[in-house]
Amino acid sequence: MSALDRGEIEITVPASVANLGPGFDVLAVAVQLYLRLKVQPAAGENQLHFRFVGQQLVGDNYIERSFQFLARQRTTAFPSLDIEVHCDIPIRSGLGSSAAATVAGLRLYEAIMEPMRPRDLLNAAVALEGHPDNVSAALLGGMTASCQLPDGSTSAVPMHWPSTLHLIVATPEIDLSTTAARSVLPEKISRHDAVFNLQRMAHLLHALQTEDFSLLHEALSDRLHQPHRQRLIPGLEQALLLDHPDLLGVCLSGAGPSVVGFAVRSFAEIERQFSAIYERLNIAYRVCTLAVHRNNEVQDCEVPPNADPSVFA
């Protein structure tokens, strides 16, 4: 019996913040901002009927793409479905909207047709998305470290994320595709820059595991992607220079244009500092403080004091 035999089903997938400074294409953390599907049976076979609530589909439908990817491999027929899509994740924001859609389609296939091994879901998601960081966090929740293996498969492992550490996410409303953001990256890097990032990634993981946040500011530094993307992303240079006693560090979210600060208190004050950057640049923006989504389960949203995640709705 599939989940659909018991009535309407809901599938919820979190947004994610990838790279986390030096962890380029390796680290990501899931955050409490969601893509939700409400699914009911429809007449016939092999048809997916989508309704996007409060938004229009921009570009390809990655939910349908990933569902059909598994359907072509594993079955000859599936029941037709009516699918209502609610998405709080800004599109092309560097918050893993395409990864969330890809994972949602895979989860939908699994719920309707057959249980799948987590590693098969992960490998399918990476095959579709092209890189493992966001999809690993979207599938597993919490912080993940991903590794692409010699045989072409992907391994992802969970990492500790301190419950007190929240993310202040600022998203300027500019059009920046992941393809454009990757096109500015160099094909080769110096040994000095590689060592720089390895040192800081080691310190970042130590800071998160021990909750020694005094290390975070320097540990979030990067030379592999942020300096090259800075000219594409208004406000990034200013955000990296923000100074507040409770702002523990700042980095680019994924390929951008979202920028993320880390703090355990003073969220509203730090939000105002981010807001001032985009107001001076006369760029529309959204800013919100988010908690981490853990263990692949939707929790009651851990809204920190003075924060308003509904700003993304």
Tell me the β-bridge partners of 10: 38
In this structure, are strands 285-290 and 249-252 parallel, antiparallel, or unpaired? Answer: unpaired
SS3 content of the chain, % helix, strand, coil (to 5): 35, 25, 40
Q: Could you tell me the fold of the domain covering 3-159?
A: Ribosomal Protein S5; domain 2 (3.30.230)
Strands (E), 204-258: 249-252
Tokens 């004091």 belong to residue: 305
Tell me the per-residue pLDDT of 272-307, one tens digit each, with 9 for 90 and over: 999 999 999 999 999 999 999 987 543 333 334 344
Same fold across 3-159 and 166-312: no
Residue ranges per structural domain of the chain: 3-159, 166-312
DSSP-derived secondary structure for 2-60:
-GGGGS-EEEEEEEEEESTTT-TTTEEEEEEEEEEEEEEEEEEES-EEEEETTS---SS
Largest CA distance in the chain: 61
Contact call for residues 124 and 114 (beta carbons, < 8 A): no
pTM, entire model: 0.90
Tell me the per-residue pLDDT of 87-141, one tens digit each, with 9 for 90 and over: 999 988 999 999 999 999 999 999 999 899 999 999 999 999 999 999 999 999 9
Confidence check: pLDDT of 176 > 80: no
Separation of CA 153 from chain center: 21
CATH no. for 166-312 = 3.30.70.890
Which tokens is 133 given?
């960081």
pLDDT of residue 262: 98
Which tokens is 291 given?
């908690």
Q: What's the first-to-final CA gap in the chain, in angstroms?
A: 34
232 CB-near residues (< 8 Å, 6+ apart):
176, 180, 181, 184, 256, 257
The CA-atom distances, in angstroms, between 274 and each of 135, 236, 260, 287, 307 are 27, 10, 9, 8, 14
Which tokens is 66 given?
């990933």
